[in-house]
Chains A and B, each alone.
Chain A
Amino acid sequence: MIQEAVSFTPQFAVAPVTKILWLIPAAPMVAAGVIALLKQPQRRTAAWLAIGSLSFSLLLSLMAFAHVVGGWAAHHAVRETVNFTWMQVGAANIALGWILDPLTAIMLVMVSFVGLLIFIYSVGYMAHDENYTRFFCFLALFAGAMLGVVVSNSLLLLFMNWEIVGLTSYLLIGFWYQKPAAAAAAKKAFMTTRVGDVFFFLGMVWLSAQSGTLLFYNHGSGALEGLALTGLLAQHAALGLTAAGAIGLLIFAGAMGKSGQVPLHVWLPDAMEGPTPVSALIHAATMVAAGVFLVARVYPLMQDGAAAGGTTTALIVVTWVGAITAVFAALIAIAQNDIKRILAYSTVSQLGYMMAGLGIGGVALGMFHLITHAFFKSLLFLGAGSVIHGCHEEQDVRRMGGLRKAMPITFGIYAIAMLALCGVPIFFSGFWSKDAIIDAAQRWNSSVVPYYLMLFGAVLTAFYMTRQVSYVFFGKWRGHQPAHESGKIMLWPMAILAFFCVALGIIGTPAWPWFDAFLGNQAAHLQMGAFASSEFLMMLLSATVVVLAGIGVAWWLYGNKSPAAGEPDALEKATPWIWAGLRDRLYVDELYGATVLAFYEWWGRVSDWFDRRVWGGAVAVVAWLFSLWAELNRFLDEQWVNGGFDKGCEELSNGGGLLSEVENGRVQIYLRILALAVVALAILLIWSSRA
């Protein structure tokens, strides 16, 4: 579909905006530091500091974006880096730096823009929370670290920010730490992502050892540039992988943890215990996308050694993991009843699409879905937050219903986001991004299975979203107190996001593949003819069929019926066994409980036993031997030595007096000791030179 395959010439000159790019992550981080010093009642200051700093970041991000677009329009591939030596350890020179390229520019704008809207929304959502200032402190720290991940030009700097992002995720999931479920979810999130991070770290160490640098781009000597890539390709790791592929996969494991890919997805649904703006910002729009971004960032490593149009083992693995995740999570989403959990599984599923998009079609395909998804999924979460807020903290969809009358604006906005997620053709951005991935999968030359998996996933997506919307907004109200619409400060950010859910599609249509061209540093041409091509029409047809099938079946099962809370689900009646399995999240948690956790518990018991019995026993034996020795000494002392001892005592007490005088602060003693020390040292020296 891309008309001109000639890439632009790279441009290395560093523009002023790149030089101050570090301010983008620094501003929210500084704000977080200042907010941390504020006292609880200073709520307005805290909120304004956070919002103000992120507005500043957004402004700078837009300037950076404009600069990159300007370069692109002038047919320059902008990839500007600023690197500096962080520390020197022996001969090793550890450098850090930041980068401005199309990938960074787009992510910067997305993160700071969505972040800003969610910050504003939080002002309303958290208005009644006691720990308002703490919330904004964590939120600002998160935004800073996330922007830091995006601008890093060094895997090490990226890793540091990555860890801060993980930490703030932990802190925010457990924000209501008095709830045991929230505290447990926070721990689970931290430890599960840590499993991935260990592999990430290994990959980083390996890369550093092989290429001698952790900078991504450094005028030809970076780890993602020609020389290093050639070197990595020549190294063979195990299982037929090159070193490049193996390192890429290790880093991908880190991305799997953060982006909730199967089998490390278990933490993400539990993370919904956090406040809803957190779910929207961190666990839908930005942090979970950091994994996708990371894979996009190290894409040259993954792709290293692929023939033209071909693929590599690493990319095949990424594709399969993504496709399986997409279906797996969508299946589970069908049978959930918590409004946020449904969205959480949907996020896992969509992240799978993004990964598969990266694996199949390259950076642009996955990243476009990342950007559109960030908008509609955060909107869904904010909508869910609005619903929860309006229904007095109720989260079970079976206790809602008929809200389209009570909350008309929320309903309208939510419906737009839901249609975008389902991928309703033409009008919604989700169609252009998701179906581009599915379309590319159809033509993937490695296997057709991912194509069918993702097609099935798309049906499921339409199905579970329709189910959720029918439960929440249609039928009769099944709650206790009547629901109310949310305030303006919450609705406005949602309206803005809703606009982008529709509008963003324009930059990724086959007729004007601007996004693709921008990330690939190629020119984009408007070609209305692409809409008439048979490929596009087939894609349109299949997408329409898929969406209609999903929505139709769900509407037939759930539409306008209002089952009471205790009543079994429509699907449950038909297939109780499958339903139970899906409802219980396909037993992944139970599997981990029975294997990994059981092993650790057993190992803990063994260690405890060793500590108590073996080591403790050894210590006890040694202690016993010493006390025996002491007893023996005492016996000898009392029987034989005492007589002589009494005589010696007088002498010793004189000596003791001497010793105490040493500590007495008398300068005469000091000087005597000085002289003695000189004599002793001289004797030592003469003796040693003789020997």
Chain B
Amino acid sequence: MNYTDLFRATLPETVLEIAALLVLVVDLGFLRKAALETRVAVAALLGAAGCVVGLWAVAFAGAGGLSFGGEVLLAGGGSAGVAQCGILVLTALALLLLIGSDFTSHAGEFAAVALMAAAGGMIIAAAQDLLVIFVGLELLSLSLYILTAFAKKSGKSAEASMKYYLFGGMSAAFLLFGFSYLYGISGSTWLPRVVCGVNNAAAHGGAPLLAVALVMIAAGLGFKVAAVPFHFWAPDTYEGAPAPAAAFIASVSKVASFALLISISSVALHFMESFHVSGDGTAAFSAQPPQITSGFGAGWPLIVAVLAVASMVFGNLAALVQSSVRRLVAYSAIAHAGYILLGLAFFSWTNRSAEAVLYYVLTYGLTTIGAFGVVGVVERVTGSDKMDAFLGLNKRNPLLAGVMLVLFLSLAGIPPLVGFWAKFNLFAAVLEAAGGVVPFALVALAVAFSAVSLYYYLQVLKRVYVMPGVDESPLRVPPFALIVLLVIAAAVVLLGCFPALLQGWIASFY
């Protein structure tokens, strides 16, 4: 490693940190006396601009990554590149939705913290070393706790942040404890060596210790992606956090965490691949798929599959009885995490699974940001996020209602919206990666539960379109927010009509 490499590989994160500082300087330095609206707009636009520069920096950093002593600490290109671009775009959108909101008078700090969280997300998306992973995770998580608490006037926000923090702290402790066991087993913090050591240990009777380590790591990461039974924070946080923060948590943090899960799964598989070849004693690379379907022994896929099924079932069922739209979105997020975990449980040694998971999580992030944007706008006017606050929305603002229709139907997976292709790709990848009865049954279960999910999405849309409204006065939406929401909805429709666009873009990174 030299400093040029370090500078190049971490340029995107550096750009974000500089943008964060710039936002603070401008907001606290030049705009102290400006109106709140101006400050919010400037902070959001500056932050979004930082993300755009970050996109350029990702391209500049390229596929080289960062190595230290022959060990790749930060990967470049591939899933990491896709996830980093996704994080930047979603962060920019979440920040743009901030414009027009009034929950805080500390606009600059909010944007700065969000940018730092995004930097943390980008680190964990690329990290290949346990310590780097942990540092990135903590940067992301701590920023998120702060973002959740940002609505100082709201007791709910503080409560949600406290719960989130306590739950997150405990999960982080589990994760770190699990990491320390892995280090103890393998003697290294570099993922490939860890996998190697773990497989040696599994072969020599170290199973119970390994099981404990894996479960603890699953708890730590399950918390990040809100998988059952590590999901308890999600409904409270989604309900209490300010809408832009909730949108950020539901999208950016999800993308980063799933990118981390992808790199763990693919490192495990690629290691197995080379192990398989050298085991034959041949020097030539063999394109045969490995015999063992995942590293870490057979334990990791089992845990992930259990979490996936629990999340799908619990998330969808619990969403059925919610009366608050935010909680509904939270439980549906748990369900979506379940589907994605299914894709990670049956991971393919080719890029197919990674691409399908990324496709899902990126499009899901996009749709959720839009959904929270709509909820935020409605909430600001009606003062409530209950389903009944959406009564007669079609009459009050047809454009907003149309955006909501597109986004919710996409979340439910109705063709030709992008949510359909995401599910289709993901389930196809699962069935391609693993034959047999169990994956098939789980995919069938997932499809069945997507049908269940349609019910609660339609419950909201029924209020928007069918049921008579109480208040039919026009609902004013800040024009800028409406434009952002329309762009998101248009993207959901367009990417759905031309699924090859995003697929091709993702594939171009490998």
A residues sitting closer than 8 Å to B (CB atoms) are: 85-90, 665, 667, 670-671, 673-674, 677-678, 681-682, 684-686, 688-690
Contacts and interface: CB of A to CB of B under 8 A. Distances in A.
B174 interface: yes
What class of interface size applies to chain B in its complex with A?
A: 35 or more
A677 B231 CA distance: 11
B216 interface: yes
B219 A674 contact: yes
A440 B182 CA distance: 86
Kindly list the 10 A-B residue pairs having the minimum CB-CB distance in the complex, ordered from nearest: A670-B232, A677-B229, A685-B211, A682-B215, A681-B215, A87-B499, A667-B163, A686-B211, A85-B500, A689-B207
B317 to A, nearest CB: 13
28 contacts: A87-B421, A87-B498, A87-B500, A87-B503, A88-B499, A88-B500, A88-B503, A89-B428, A90-B428, A665-B236, A667-B163, A667-B232, A671-B167, A671-B170, A674-B170, A674-B230, A677-B229, A677-B230, A681-B219, A685-B211, A685-B214, A685-B215, A685-B299, A685-B302, A686-B207, A688-B298, A688-B302, A689-B299
Contact of B208 (A86, A670, A686): A686
Contacts of B302: 684-685, 688
Contacts of B170: 671, 674
A97 to B, nearest CB: 13
Interface string B205-230: 00110011011101100000000011
A308 to B, nearest CB: 42
Given A677-B229, A677-B230, A684-B306, 12 more contacts: A85-B500, A88-B499, A667-B232, A674-B174, A674-B219, A674-B232, A678-B219, A681-B303, A681-B306, A686-B207, A688-B299, A690-B207
A670 B297 CA distance: 30
B214 A670 contact: no
Contacts of B145: none
Contacts of B428: 89-90
A90 B432 CA distance: 9
A686 to B, nearest CB: 5
Interface in B399-446: 421, 428, 432
Contacts of A689: 207, 211, 297-299
Contacts of A87: 421, 498-500, 503
B166 interface: yes
A631 B232 CA distance: 39
Contacts of B162: 667
B465 interface: no
A677 B216 CA distance: 10
A665 B327 CA distance: 13
Interface string B46-85: 0000000000000000000000000000000000000000
A689 B306 CA distance: 15
A686 B299 CA distance: 9
Contact of A682 (B211, B229, B236): B211
A673 B228 CA distance: 11
Nearest to B318: A663
Contacts of A671: 166-167, 170
B363 interface: no
B469 to A, nearest CB: 19
B233 interface: yes
Contacts of B212: 682
A689 B504 CA distance: 40
Given A86-B500, A90-B428, A685-B299, A670 B233 contact: yes
B167 A667 contact: yes
Nearest to A690: B207
**Taking chain B's interface residues, is the majority helix, strand, or loop, or is none over half, making it mixed?**
helix
B450 interface: no
A681 B222 CA distance: 12
B313 to A, nearest CB: 15
A688 B208 CA distance: 11
Contacts of B214: 685
A684 B163 CA distance: 28
B265 interface: no
B232 A673 contact: yes
Contacts of B500: 85-88
Given A87-B500, A678-B174, A688-B302, A670 B211 contact: no
B229 A674 contact: yes
B171 interface: yes
A665 B156 CA distance: 12
Contacts of B216: 678
Contacts of B218: 681
B407 to A, nearest CB: 19
The winner among B167, B214, B215, B428 for most chain A CB atoms within 10 A is: B215
A116 B322 CA distance: 53
Contacts of B499: 87-88
Contacts of B303: 681, 685
Interface string B232-271: 1100100000000000000000000000000000000000
B369 to A, nearest CB: 25
A684 B309 CA distance: 15
B167 A670 contact: yes
A684 B207 CA distance: 12
Contacts of A684: 302, 306
B163 to A, nearest CB: 5
Nearest to A89: B428
Nearest to B211: A685
A667 B500 CA distance: 44
Interface in B154-200: 162-163, 166-167, 170-171, 174
A678 B215 contact: yes
A670 B164 CA distance: 11
A667 B166 contact: yes
Contacts of A681: 215, 218-219, 303, 306
A690 B202 CA distance: 12
A666 to B, nearest CB: 9
B498 A86 contact: yes
Contacts of B232: 667, 670, 673-674
Contacts of B174: 674, 678
Nearest to B159: A665
Nearest to A684: B306
Nearest to A682: B215
A144 to B, nearest CB: 16
Contacts of A690: 207
Interface string B291-308: 000000111001100100
The winner among A665, A681, A689 for most chain B CB atoms within 10 A is: A681
Contacts of B298: 688-689
Contacts of A88: 499-500, 503
Given A86-B500, A87-B500, A673 B207 contact: no
A191 B162 CA distance: 61
Contact of B167 (A674, A677, A682, A688): A674
A125 to B, nearest CB: 31
B403 to A, nearest CB: 14
Nearest to A668: B166
A90 B498 CA distance: 16
A688 B202 CA distance: 13
B219 A677 contact: yes
B163 A674 contact: no
Nearest to A670: B232
A408 B166 CA distance: 90
A340 B161 CA distance: 73
